[in-house]
Structure 1
Amino acid sequence: MRHTSTIETSSKRSGSRSSRLSLLLALSASALLSLAGPAYAAPASDPLPADIPGYQAALDAVKSTDVRNAVCRFLSTPLPAGAGEPVQTIPETTEPCQGLPAFTIKDPVALNEIAPAFVAGTAQPLPTEAVKLTQLVSSLSTTVNGRNATVMLAPTQGGGWHLAAIRDGNSDVMYASKATLGTLVFTEPQIRGWYQLRLTTVEPLNDQARQGLDGQASVSLSDYQKLVQARYADKLPGSQYDTQGYSSGYSLPSKTDDTTSPTPLLAGGSGAALALAAGAAVIIRRRRRASTG
């Protein structure tokens, strides 16, 4: 009897330790998320959020004449009708916004993606390890001739932000803006999936993400790591998949999201004439994949 009692007491203590450990992990994740959330994904409701590095430079960029003119040139140029269309050069004009309805470019918000180390399985399934801030995105205050656009900023080496691309539509901003204090919003760009991370629970925000979770309403961050590790661990930069030119071609068998173009269409730069080159580059890579697959 004494032996049995000892076993029962040991079992209770073990269960108590397990419960305390689970609670500790949950509280730790909550603390990490509350710290990481604003830094990585919170909408820029504060004019100068200190948790987005160099945010003043991002504000200066989206309010600059150069970026505004680039947006006007983009909106004045018809989108390519399909893969067979030639790359279009945006005409240089002294007043690119002339004749267009008035608009402003909203303050940028953070765009997060799954981190390579998380995909590779070398990072822990924690909010601060799972995602990384890759870009800032801004949308327009109103549609212009029936079109909207997303201004995409990339970090500048040495600090600050610069125009990286302009994309037709505004779904990136729409999803990125769903972040709240205590949650992270991030994208799995390979399938155009958008997710919300609550503590250590991943929830889908669009159809692509629901398919990425095999139809589940939510999964643990640990289980999500297993899913993306299975999908992409052998397709990371430097892998054979990457070096053979397939890195833009991976997708799940799913319906496409027609709310926005899947590729940035206008590459940002300091030159006067900007071309719709990014879309053409991906079309070429997809053709290459089709010809070799």
Structure 2
Amino acid sequence: MKMLIRRTTDNSFEGVFSKLNFKDNNLTITIIKRSKHLDNRSSAQGSELSESYNNEILADKTFDLAKLFKPRTFFYCYMSGDIPRITDFFDTQYSNKSREELYRSIIFELMGVPPYVGVYFHNSIDEMFLIANQPIDEEVLDNKYAELIKDNITLFDYLCTNVDGFISVNEEQNAKKKVLMELNPNTSLAALEAQVDLLTELVFSMLKNQPNLIRTVQNDIPYLSSFEQVFTDTSLLAIKDAKKCLNEIKETKAKIRQVQMDYYNEKSRVLNDA
């Protein structure tokens, strides 16, 4: 495990900063607001001004990173709201997101809000890399996992330089992302619907030409007539002829196979170059 820290604060820092505590795969993020106070103190020479600092905890959240773990995956959490709130960690593989997670993470990206903390898991839970993008209490440097890095180094830059095989992982993930971007689930679903309706029509046609078989099926499936009526009333073939449906199936599935072939070729190249 490696905890990458960009900026640290000392005890005289005024403003918002964080404390990070990592133990037994549990990460606790505490957001603190530190303000300076001037106090009047009486002494033998008269009144004196002294400085003191007050720490106010704005937010505090603990994550079980073992439960979060997915190999070769990035996760980010954000600080949001007028009253700071630490979001859950978002999986950057959009295909794995819930709709709410997807929308919220896109909003953060569009607003240009940097992640508060980023985590990358390589091949195992022990190969975990954590980066903090906000000022962190300097005490964290006493942690054996902590490493102070230059402010302009991103987590991606660090991984490319320090983690064997990461560049290949990234290339493979980019190829997978390209597949997801090029394929439209709605188009694929429409082609599957057409294929199912054509196959259903084929089954009913075969049954009608086999009187003995249809009697057997009717005994086993008493709702067969109702099924046929529902199919007839709702079939895609009622609004598109079979030829058009077949052409759409051919075009859609041919595109999917080509995109998949390109992906597997790229994946094979990446693995061979690794």
Structure exhibiting the larger radius of gyration computed from Cα positions: 2
TM-score normalised by length of structure 2 = 0.27
Whose helix proportion is higher, 1 or 2? 2
